[in-house]
Amino acid sequence: LQGLPRGTKLEVLVFNERIVPVFGKLTTFGAGQRKTLLETMEQLITDDGIATYPVLQQALDVAGAKDTTAWKSGPDEILFLTVNVPTAGEVTDAELVAGGMALRARLRMVTVHTVGSDYHPYELCRQLAARTGGVYVDLTR
């Protein structure tokens, strides 16, 4: 958060089995959003239901599901942080999630950076970042 340039737009999607948008749309980041985001992060609780495919799909479609809208107003980058393997949603196979989301992201020229902590899908995070030009950070202790 410290290094975000002025005028950066972002949305944060908190997820377990359900996906909860923090701001509800791409929002210009400022002091009020920083406070909301910090409060949200302090209240996070990890769960076993991890809707990886749906949250990545929603992140790619945050400005709209149509490619023309996504190209014009959609995200340039996604930061995906996970603490568990996919267990919820229509696709739970980590290899299929990585391949499908990497293809969709590449078609829209969206870079996906991944951060894995605890027991996360190592290969999914590694492949998703590598296939989209992103960076993978493993925070497992």
Among residues 60, 16, 62, 14, which one has the least CA distance to residue 36?
14
In this predicted structure, the answer to whether residue 46 has a pLDDT above a threshold of 80 is no
Q: What is the pTM of this model?
A: 0.90
Q: What is the pLDDT of residue 131?
A: 97
In this predicted structure, the answer to whether residue 85 has a pLDDT above a threshold of 90 is no
| Cα–Cα distance, 100 to 53 (Å, whole number) | 9
Under DSSP, is residue 86 helix (H, G, I), strand (E, B) or coil?
A: coil
Average pLDDT over residues 46-65: 91
What's the pLDDT band for 14 if we cut at 50, 70, 90? very high
- Residue 107's H or E segment, with its range, is helix 94-107
Under DSSP, is residue 73 helix (H, G, I), strand (E, B) or coil?
A: helix
| Cα–Cα distance, 19 to 16 (Å, whole number) | 7
